[in-house]
Amino acid sequence: MRLSFKQVEAFLKEAFTENKGLKLIALVITLGLFISVRAQEKVERWIDVEVEVVYPPKQAGVVLTNKPIREVRVAIRGRRSMVNDIKNEPSHVVQMDLSNRKRPGMSTFFFEPENFNFNGVEVVDIKPEAVSIRIEKLETRRLPVKIKTVGRLKEGTRFEKSPEVVPDMVEATGPASVIRSVTSLYTEEVGIDGLDVGPYREDVPLVPIEGLEYAQDKFSVSFKIIPRMGQRMVSSLSIRHGLSDDVQVNIVPSEIAVTLYGPQLSLDRMDLSVISPVADVKDIQLAKPGKYRVPVKIEGLPEDIEVKTTVPSFVELDILN
């Protein structure tokens, strides 16, 4: 039997409009049953778990020397609702308890399902399941401390003596394999680039060495910068006399050589024209004619320059009138 268009329209209208309340209740019940079944359905999910290491006690005299694992991946299986609740938690932690590992050597730590505090679900897989552990004996040694400088001293300067560090020895504690390989400890870099003349002192830590602990944190580095001293010989310097210009005098010899001593930079940059050798006539009475043997003095030198030698140191003055 073929239905007319109006008959089909009436049938559909009745199906969707009649008994709407009962139909809505049936729909709600159906959805509830579906959600309940889904919640009870068992699923499997992977989650990341942070590893908290419990180290051997200090009094055991041993230390873990390989880097501990930071996290493991764990597969859990259970009702969807419980698995989702666990997965949505902000963090998960499992203890890696090494407190009973007190003998040096290699060993293995196994993560067991019971190590994980997941209620209502089953731990079905762990990656990695086992971790290698290296335990070493702790040793303490007294080691020398050396200074590490960086940069160059200003031109024409030097250390008065080698920089000093106080204390120059320190106790260091660490794994036997590390501490036996270390012969010296170094301070962090002390900058000396372009420093002026003067004393300096600075507190600096040591350059860290992984695994080592030091009995002291700060070390006092001190040094003094002084000018670099040197000598310079200047020859063929003409001698003048200290008498009046109208006095006729012969000076024998008429030229001398001097050796100067002072900061090398000042010597190198010195204007030689300022050096003035003078025959010292303070003991000659009124420039009376005759021959006199007198010392030579050097005038015109900078304050930081001194005369080391004069050759000759005495000259002969022949006063003619």
Question: Average pLDDT in the 184-210 region?
Answer: 95
Q: Is the pLDDT of residue 23 over 60?
A: no
Q: Is the pLDDT of residue 41 over 90?
A: no
pLDDT score recorded for residue 22: 56
Q: Is the pLDDT of residue 124 over 70?
A: yes
Beta bridge partners of 283: none
Q: Is the pLDDT of residue 27 over 70?
A: no
> 247 or 114: whose pLDDT is higher?
114
Contact 54, 93 (CB under 8 A): no
pLDDT score recorded for residue 252: 93
pLDDT tens-digit readout, 265-283: 999 999 999 999 998 887 6
Q: Is the pLDDT of residue 172 over 90?
A: yes
pLDDT tens-digit readout, 229-243: 999 999 999 998 877
Contact 209, 180 (CB under 8 A): no
SS3 track for the chain:
CCCCHHHHHHHHHHHHHCCHHHHHHHHHHHHHHHHHHHHHCEEEEEEEEEEEEECCCHHHCEEECCCCCCEEEEEEEEEHHHHHHHHCCCCCEEEEECCCCCCCEEEEEECCHHHCCCCCCEEEEEECCEEEEEEEEEEEEEEEEECCEECCCCCCEEECCCCEEECCEEEEEEEHHHHCCCCCEEECCEECCCCCCEEEEEEECECCCCCCEECCCCEEEEEEEEECEEEEEEEEEECEECCCCCCCEEEECCEEEEEEEEEHHHHHHCCHHHCEEEECCCCCCCCCCEEEEEEEEEECCCCCCEEEEEECCEEEEEECC
CATH number 3.30.70.1350 given to 138-227: no
pLDDT band for position 221 (cuts 50, 70, 90)? very high
Question: Average pLDDT in the 188-211 region?
Answer: 94
Lowest average pLDDT, out of 7-16, 96-105, 199-208, 209-218, goes to 7-16
Q: Is the pLDDT of residue 1 over 60?
A: no
pLDDT tens-digit readout, 148-159: 999 999 999 999
**Could you tell me the fold of the domain covering 229-319?**
RNA Polymerase Alpha Subunit; Chain A, domain 2 (2.170.120)
pTM over 0.85: no
Q: Is the pLDDT of residue 220 over 70?
A: yes
Lowest average pLDDT, out of 29-38, 72-81, 88-97, 154-163, goes to 29-38
Task: Give one word for 138, left, alpha or beta, with left for phi > 0 and alpha for psi -120 to 50.
Answer: beta
pLDDT tens-digit readout, 290-299: 888 999 999 9
pLDDT score recorded for residue 238: 93
**What integer best gives the mean pLDDT of the chain?**
88
